[in-house]
Amino acid sequence: MKKTRILDFAIFVLIVVAIIIVSLIIIRIKENKENVKEMASVVNIVEDLQANIQGENSEEVKKQLLETTIEGYNIEGIIEIPSIELKYPIINQTNDKTMKISVTKFTVGNINEIGNYCIAGHNNLDGTMFGKVKKLKIGDIIKLTDLYGETLEYAIFDMYVIDPNDVSCTEIVKEGTRELTLITCTNGRKNRLVTKAREI
């Protein structure tokens, strides 16, 4: 009788824990979907402004572009990866809060300049942020568009896994070139997946 009560209690506790875990996952997925909607809205605003950058109010448009924010954080441009249907604004700083909002600039330097431009993003289970980056292949194209509408294309030339404390991926591979590095977590957040690309 006592064993039956203990077993019943253990099953009850497991059910409660399972319900809590599932609820937290559902909440997180819902938050991710809301973030994706907000990011799409910001991308549309930027692209609409960029379409008017050559007009007679170009200085005002440039000012508006520089002041474009997402949840109070400035953005530097837009990353697009057609092969995995990814298109997000790039927030110009990396911290715990910004990484929950969108993908973020990980190192110093500016978008589409000579050097190694690094972008970090979460590997969300629902495929948002950099959740689909693991599906990329050598040769796939990544597009970076700065706030003024200039787009450069980069081709992936390497993908590998590193330890979380290894920052060697932020160094440039070939001097005098424009390189792009995408960084996301993998293997249950124990390691980092690095995707390297170079301007074509």
Whole-prediction pTM: 0.77
Count the residues in the chain. Answer: 200
pLDDT tens digits in sequence order for the chain, 200 residues long: 666 777 777 787 888 888 887 777 666 666 766 766 776 777 777 777 766 666 666 777 777 887 888 888 888 999 999 999 999 999 998 998 888 889 999 887 888 889 999 999 999 888 888 999 999 999 999 999 998 888 999 999 999 999 988 989 988 777 788 999 999 998 777 899 999 999 99
Structure token pair of residue 100: 């929950």
Burial class (CB in 10 A: 0-12, 13-18, 19+), 118: buried
**Contact (Cβ atoms closer than 8 angstroms) between residue 65 and residue 137:** no
Q: Which domain holds residue 131?
A: 2-199
CATH of the domain at 103: 2.40.260.10
Q: Which residues pair with 161 in a beta bridge?
A: 193
Q: Number of folded domains in the chain? A: 1
Burial class (CB in 10 A: 0-12, 13-18, 19+), 29: middle
